Structure 1
Amino acid sequence: MPAAQASPAPAKALSEPQKALRKLGLARDIDLALHLPIRYEDETRITKLRDAHGGESVQIEGTITDNHVAFRPRRQLVVTIDDGTDTCVLRFFSFYPSQQKALAVGNRILARGELKGGLVGWQMVHPTTRAAGGDLPTALTPVYSTVAALPQAYLRKAVQAGLSRADLRETVPPEFAARLGLRSEWSLREALQFLHHPGPDTSMAALEDRSHPAWQRLKAEELLAQQLSQLQSKRERDRLRAPALPARPQGLHEQLLQALPFALTAAQRRVGEEIARDLALAVPMHRLLQGDVGSGKTVVAALAATIAIDAGWQCALMAPTEILAEQHFRKLVGWLEPLLAPHGLGVAWLTGSQKKKERDAMLQRIASGEAALVVGTHAVIQDQVQFRRLALAIIDEQHRFGVAQRLALRSKMGAESAEAGVEREPHLLMMSATPIPRTLAMSYYADLDVSTIDELPPGRTPIVTKLVADSRRDEVIERIRAQLAQGRQVYWVCPLIEESEALDLTNATATHEALSTALPGVLVGLLHSRMPPAEKKAVMSLFEGGQMGVLVSTTVIEVGVDVPNASLMVIEHAERFGLSQLHQLRGRVGRGAAASACVLLYAAGENGRLGEAARARLKAMAETADGFEIARRDLEIRGPGEFLGARQSGAPLLRFADLATDTQLLQAARDLAPVLLDRHPEWAQRHTARWLGGKSEYLKA
């Protein structure tokens, strides 16, 4: 019988602080080194009370002359300290016996906190205290963002240990450092050492606004890592193969152009040609088609689909909501079905709410190739959906989809498209009605080719936008009556479905009841995301058919609803919506010949005023209808997260650089990335590994 093998020693269990470090994403030494303070406390000097000013954060040293527990107005520990020039009362509303003992009368302590002056003298509430004696620190004390199980003292030690162990050798060759704006006196190690422990004479303003040279060093390196990662992703994708789909003279593409009841704008023709050039290549297209609300992206997508179908391949179009997917389906069936039918081909419809019999029939049509174009929601990427030959994937409102969902669509080319020894994927066209600001396109979307439809089709009426306080709701209802009397229709959008204790907002259901009462004889509909699909469809059908005068809705109508007779949009609690979302909602009106308006109904806070960000959003909406200007302002107000949506899930948003203020650094990093990757690939690899770890994988989707 073989001797029993010694079982491996059990892995050492992580302590609570170690688990908390992992939760913060601080697994590597470099992660700890790059976990920078959110603010600093000055423990390097002691201030005499006679020299202090109210409202300052100061550190005082003195002897405790009194210590007692008071019970009015609530239980608290009250400690009096005398520094020889004046006295100060320290108040603790939560305290422990050990703390009470450390603050015994006669003990000499250091106390640091915000000094408040009143009629009864100086006081501090919940100051930081420690025993006096020993040398004072020579640098500012860092304060880090943390979680409950991770005290500052433990985190400071962990960061310092990570900083001392991390490999901080240069990853930018010396001859390129100046091109990136890196100053020789600030190496990465020196910059990090300084930012974790700046000297007491450092300008706090330069630390807070990140203009200090040490901050500039970090921001430049971070932007370079991002640019390198994006460029590597693009080059890797360019090595893949896709079906070459040249446009056929007199083919479906030309036939659709002739059959359309309108002429394309110059911008639509231009972006159509850009897409057609990409499709003709055997390299996968990876293009973002952006255009303002109503600029006509769907017809451009339809023209791209005809090129793929003409070459004997299939095309899939995926939209985030059933309402938007159905809107596309109806348009595409109307345009394409007459052209496809003579060839025995058609358009398939696929959603999660379909009955099994209908769904099975659609799956059969897709697998056989008879469905040349498949339109649907997330259902398009489910396992049981098998394409015969997929060559083009179109994703609408791409920021609403995650990385995994886009990758799933790209992996569905079908058995007949396989080619021995060649890695293939379909061409990808992503569409967005939220224009991407230039700095965002240069950074997070650097791996994409971007096509822009920058003009609206003729006949679109300008939309007048009005800001109206919630107290004037009755006037808004009068305006609705006037629009209905002219035979027009109205949207009323609410932010919530049900009452929430956290947000005291009027909900869609209550608004629906109130408007039904206020507008007797008018059919007022209700639409929200929790309704069964059949019910949603019935409501939309009544509104689109003109029988329903007012549609009360949550943001499910944000995209894809096209009712030319709707001339008034009321957005309730507009201060709660993002700027891009407000612009999307406004785009649901102004689709016909009638003069259209958008009323932004806002509720001020308890002090009767709007918050700064909300005021900036509403002001931007009232001042401009230009989607690109809206997007630029949204980036300023909210940062990049709103635009990226799930694109970056798990991937790094910039932690240190700011796209609004660091444009020059971004441009320098963008220029240097290809040079560094070509001449020093090993340096480039070390640089991205340091800054991104494994996260760069997410940038490839």
Structure 2
Amino acid sequence: MKNDHFSSLNPQLQQKLVRLGIRSELELILHLPLRYEDETRLYPIRDIPDGKTGQVQVEGVIIHCEVITRSRRQLVCQVKDASGILFIRFLHFYPSQVKAYSIGARVRVLGEARTGFFGAEMVHPKCRIVHEESPLADTLTPVYPITAGVTQTALAKLIQQALSRGHSREYMAETLPEAILQHYQLLGFRESIALLHQPPPDITIDLLQSRTHPAWRRIKFDELLAQQLSMRMHYRQRRSYRAPALQERNHLTHVLLATLAFELTVAQKKVLAEIKSDLSTTSPMQRLLQGDVGSGKTIVAALAALQAIENDYQVAVMAPTEILAEQHYQKFLSWFAPLGVTVAWLSGSQKKKQRDLELNQIAAGHAMLVVGTHALFQEQVRFFRLGLVIVDEQHRFGVHQRLALREKGSEPNWLPHQLMMSATPIPRTLSMSYYADLDVSVIDQLPPGRSPVVTKLIDESRRSEVIARVREACQAGKQAYWVCPLIEESEALQLKTAVETYEFLSQTFPDLKINLVHGRLNAQDKSAIMSAFSQGEVQLLVATTVIEVGVDVPNACLMVIEHAERMGLSQLHQLRGRIGRGSEAGICVLLYQKPLSQIARERLRIIFEHSDGFEIARQDLKLRGPGEFLGTRQSGIPMLRFADLQQDMDLLEAARTVAETLLRDYPEAAQRHLQRWLGDKNAYLRV
């Protein structure tokens, strides 16, 4: 947004403000306080509530001040008013403070009081010199997020100047119709902003600190509404493009279903019906298929692919790692080759001759299904007639990568259908907010006969018991994984390495067939090792987390995970999902090393107590917040600044409804609202 006043600021100051996300006068006004301090009243020292939580302000005269060096160097002063004495203590201080806090100086002190050895005391309070008649603040004092080179005082002054000008500016005008304000009992926008920057002294500070005051609720509602509007507009825009109408023909589909050794579950049939319905329309499908580990997403994707192939359109299947892509290739090949469907394979490590052969097959339209990694994005990959894109573990691909594959459609204003799959379940609040532009299908049951995996938490000191359990399982004809988090030794982290573990286990189990797989092996070696493990030629596979997704070996029923305390919940759940895929129950041993941090302890508790991926994801969201959960550092999605998806579910529900109303009945208001909150950040929603 162009803004004369902001552009007139000192260029160095502008650069510092940009670090805070402030690029205009409006963004300065929307830079809201983190918390508040109450400097509007004074407490007599004697009346400071014993054990009071929160800050209080007192005023008095310094009667003693000295630097003491017992145990650690600190500055200790005594402040006296008519009612008593307060000790103030500074553990970090400057010579200028020692000089300023001389005997006889009058100070105003703000901080948390507690009972110390000598009576009431404050540690590191806010302390300033005042005169006897210095007026008290007439509003609560906002405390803003700041950055190096911008002080609280300077930033507060800039915001106050912007507020005084903003009252007459168009960008502060109300964007919501009166009927909506009344129906949802929302404060006005201008009133809310003014109150949050300059709260009156009689306001309940707890409502501001907890962000539950009506002014905060209005701001959070507006932010959620902007997100919903943006997502819904993107959804509508996508539906303005054309896609091939892929009708249900069911010739090959019925043949494949008849050859399967299992029946589709009710949940699989339900989501397949939703996908088939989307594919038969001329609006590009953009559907997210969610399902817990082992719920059977791949066969659903295969049946969707056949619907495209039966209409003479090609299908691209993309996976984030070569191991997972190759697993998909082998699986699809085993299903499709007997049907006479040619399946091509593209990876970054292919020899040029093989790659050129595959590229020609794809460009000529002979290969109807193409499986690959990010190699599918490359410019030289030309499809004859691409009708459907299937992206597995979609959250691992950046926004621009997914867009590049989708734009390989063959005509302008024409897009292939897109099916995204995720074995990392997305909690409902995230699905309603960050995925509101997608249609979502959920496979919410596991195939019959799958036994839940038993999870055991075992301290590193009991390693010998775990080793004995592995020997026992392998000698009984079963297979096992031993998962390590790093390949190379890091002294700082003191993690066991895959290589060391492989060498140790090889010496410990000379009678077992053991192999090692990790990310630095070339694709052919990885493929050969995984193939040997799948066929039972390897009894114990030492691996890094490259086996996290997609690996399916029914005879593997035991997994040991080293340093489980270092791994995230999603990763632990994905790894655990590699076992128990046959008729026998799996056992997952989480080896951990003390001492455990609080968050590591909590993660291990959650993974031990829960086997349902959706509940684990919900708990993970609470632990990490949406930014880390979504991996937005890679995808570029702007995060919510004020709203909290856990706390503000009611506002999210209301924002969804209001977004539809605005787009239908008040399109100009919707555009003004989006411009205020997203400005140029709206571009990411093209994807």
TM-score normalised by structure 1 residue count? 0.89
Task: Specify the SS of the correspondent of 1:86.
Answer: strand
| Aligned: 1:222 with 2:223 | yes
Task: Specify the SS of the correspondent of 2:340.
Answer: helix
Identity of aligned residues (%): 55
| Aligned: 1:359 with 2:363 | no
Select the residue among 27, 42, 49 that pairs with 1:31.
27
| Aligned: 1:376 with 2:352 | no
Q: d(CA) in 1 for partners of 2:264 and 2:565?
A: 37
Letter matched to residue 443 of structure 1: S
| Equivalent residue pairs, number | 672
**Residue 158 and residue 517 in structure 1: after superposition, are their counterparts in 2 closer, same or farther (change >3 A)?**
farther
Letter matched to residue 546 of structure 2: V
Could you say which residue in structure 2 is the equivalent of 1:49?
Answer: 45
| Aligned: 1:694 with 2:680 | yes
Select the residue among 123, 128, 131 that pairs with 1:130.
128
Q: Conserved in 1, the CA contact under 8 Å of 2:245 and 2:281?
A: yes
**Residue 111 and residue 13 in structure 1: after superposition, are their counterparts in 2 closer, same or farther (change >3 A)?**
closer
**Residue 449 and residue 44 in structure 1: after superposition, are their counterparts in 2 closer, same or farther (change >3 A)?**
same
Could you say which residue in structure 1 is the equivalent of 2:4?
Answer: none
TM-superposed deviation, 1:335? 1.2
**Residue 503 and residue 206 in structure 1: after superposition, are their counterparts in 2 closer, same or farther (change >3 A)?**
farther
Alignment of 1:278-427 (within 5 A): 278-340=278-340, 346-413=342-409, 417-418=410-411, 423-427=413-417
TM-superposed deviation, 1:19? 1.4
TM-superposed deviation, 1:686? 0.8
Q: d(CA) in 1 for partners of 2:499 and 2:10?
A: 49
Could you say which residue in structure 2 is the equivalent of 1:4?
Answer: none
Q: Conserved in 1, the CA contact under 8 Å of 2:36 and 2:141?
A: yes
| Aligned: 1:635 with 2:608 | no
Could you say which residue in structure 2 is the equivalent of 1:177?
Answer: 181
Mean Cα deviation higher: 308-317 or 357-366? 357-366
How big is the alpha-carbon RMSD for the aligned residues of Structure 1 and Structure 2?
2.8
Q: Conserved in 2, the CA contact under 8 Å of 1:59 and 1:111?
A: yes
Q: d(CA) in 2 for partners of 1:497 and 1:161?
A: 56
TM-superposed deviation, 1:538? 3.8
Q: Conserved in 2, the CA contact under 8 Å of 1:168 and 1:188?
A: yes
**Residue 102 and residue 187 in structure 1: after superposition, are their counterparts in 2 closer, same or farther (change >3 A)?**
same
Could you say which residue in structure 1 is the equivalent of 2:213?
Answer: 212
Could you say which residue in structure 2 is the equivalent of 1:656?
Answer: 642
Could you say which residue in structure 2 is the equivalent of 1:624?
Answer: 610
Could you say which residue in structure 1 is the equivalent of 2:545?
Answer: 555
Letter matched to residue 322 of structure 2: E
Q: d(CA) in 2 for partners of 1:249 and 1:46?
A: 79
Task: Specify the SS of the correspondent of 2:440.
Answer: strand
TM-superposed deviation, 1:67? 5.5
Mean Cα deviation higher: 282-291 or 458-467? 458-467
Letter matched to residue 523 of structure 2: P
**Residue 103 and residue 178 in structure 1: after superposition, are their counterparts in 2 closer, same or farther (change >3 A)?**
same
TM-score normalised by structure 2 residue count? 0.90
Q: Conserved in 1, the CA contact under 8 Å of 2:89 and 2:122?
A: yes
Could you say which residue in structure 2 is the equivalent of 1:159?
Answer: 159
Q: d(CA) in 2 for partners of 1:274 and 1:62?
A: 72
Alignment of 1:48-67 (within 5 A): 48-52=44-48, 53=50, 57-65=55-63
TM-superposed deviation, 1:89? 4.5
Alignment of 1:488-567 (within 5 A): 488-500=478-490, 503-567=493-557
Mean Cα deviation higher: 66-75 or 524-533? 66-75
**Residue 247 and residue 163 in structure 1: after superposition, are their counterparts in 2 closer, same or farther (change >3 A)?**
same
**Residue 126 and residue 629 in structure 1: after superposition, are their counterparts in 2 closer, same or farther (change >3 A)?**
closer
Mean Cα deviation higher: 358-367 or 637-646? 637-646
Letter matched to residue 177 of structure 1: L
Letter matched to residue 520 of structure 2: R
TM-superposed deviation, 1:626? 2.3
TM-superposed deviation, 1:593? 1.6
TM-superposed deviation, 1:81? 4.3
Q: Conserved in 2, the CA contact under 8 Å of 1:351 and 1:379?
A: yes
Could you say which residue in structure 2 is the equivalent of 1:6?
Answer: none
Select the residue among 89, 99, 108 that pairs with 1:110.
108
**Residue 16 and residue 517 in structure 1: after superposition, are their counterparts in 2 closer, same or farther (change >3 A)?**
farther
Unaligned runs of 5+ in 2: 1-6
Q: d(CA) in 1 for partners of 2:103 and 2:293?
A: 71
Could you say which residue in structure 2 is the equivalent of 1:644?
Answer: 630
**Residue 624 and residue 80 in structure 1: after superposition, are their counterparts in 2 closer, same or farther (change >3 A)?**
closer
Task: Specify the SS of the correspondent of 1:424.
Answer: coil
Q: d(CA) in 2 for partners of 1:505 and 1:201?
A: 55
**Residue 268 and residue 642 in structure 1: after superposition, are their counterparts in 2 closer, same or farther (change >3 A)?**
farther
Q: d(CA) in 1 for partners of 2:574 and 2:424?
A: 8
1:76-133 Cα deviation digits (max 9, x unpaired): 55555444532524435342x5444434444333233344544356654443332213
Q: Conserved in 1, the CA contact under 8 Å of 2:181 and 2:188?
A: no
| Aligned: 1:191 with 2:192 | yes
Q: d(CA) in 2 for partners of 1:102 and 1:501?
A: 47
Q: Conserved in 1, the CA contact under 8 Å of 2:241 and 2:414?
A: yes
**Residue 394 and residue 553 in structure 1: after superposition, are their counterparts in 2 closer, same or farther (change >3 A)?**
same
TM-superposed deviation, 1:687? 1.0
Q: d(CA) in 1 for partners of 2:30 and 2:461?
A: 49
Q: d(CA) in 2 for partners of 1:654 and 1:153?
A: 26
Q: d(CA) in 2 for partners of 1:519 and 1:164?
A: 77
| Aligned: 1:469 with 2:465 | no
Q: d(CA) in 1 for partners of 2:280 and 2:47?
A: 77
Q: Conserved in 1, the CA contact under 8 Å of 2:88 and 2:124?
A: no
Could you say which residue in structure 2 is the equivalent of 1:454?
Answer: 444
Q: Conserved in 1, the CA contact under 8 Å of 2:250 and 2:307?
A: no
Q: Conserved in 2, the CA contact under 8 Å of 1:648 and 1:698?
A: no
Alignment of 1:246-265 (within 5 A): 246-250=247-251, 252-265=252-265
Letter matched to residue 340 of structure 1: G
**Residue 87 and residue 331 in structure 1: after superposition, are their counterparts in 2 closer, same or farther (change >3 A)?**
closer
Q: d(CA) in 2 for partners of 1:499 and 1:156?
A: 49
1:337-376 Cα deviation digits (max 9, x unpaired): 23235xxxx2221122222332232222222222221111
Letter matched to residue 313 of structure 1: Y
Letter matched to residue 211 of structure 1: T
**Residue 504 and residue 150 in structure 1: after superposition, are their counterparts in 2 closer, same or farther (change >3 A)?**
farther
Mean Cα deviation higher: 152-161 or 525-534? 525-534
TM-superposed deviation, 1:23? 1.5
Letter matched to residue 407 of structure 1: L
| Aligned: 1:602 with 2:592 | yes
Unaligned runs of 5+ in 1: 1-10
Letter matched to residue 273 of structure 2: E
Task: Specify the SS of the correspondent of 2:147.
Answer: coil
**Residue 305 and residue 194 in structure 1: after superposition, are their counterparts in 2 closer, same or farther (change >3 A)?**
same
Could you say which residue in structure 2 is the equivalent of 1:3?
Answer: none
Mean Cα deviation higher: 72-81 or 396-405? 72-81
Could you say which residue in structure 2 is the equivalent of 1:88?
Answer: 87
| Aligned: 1:667 with 2:665 | no
TM-superposed deviation, 1:451? 1.7
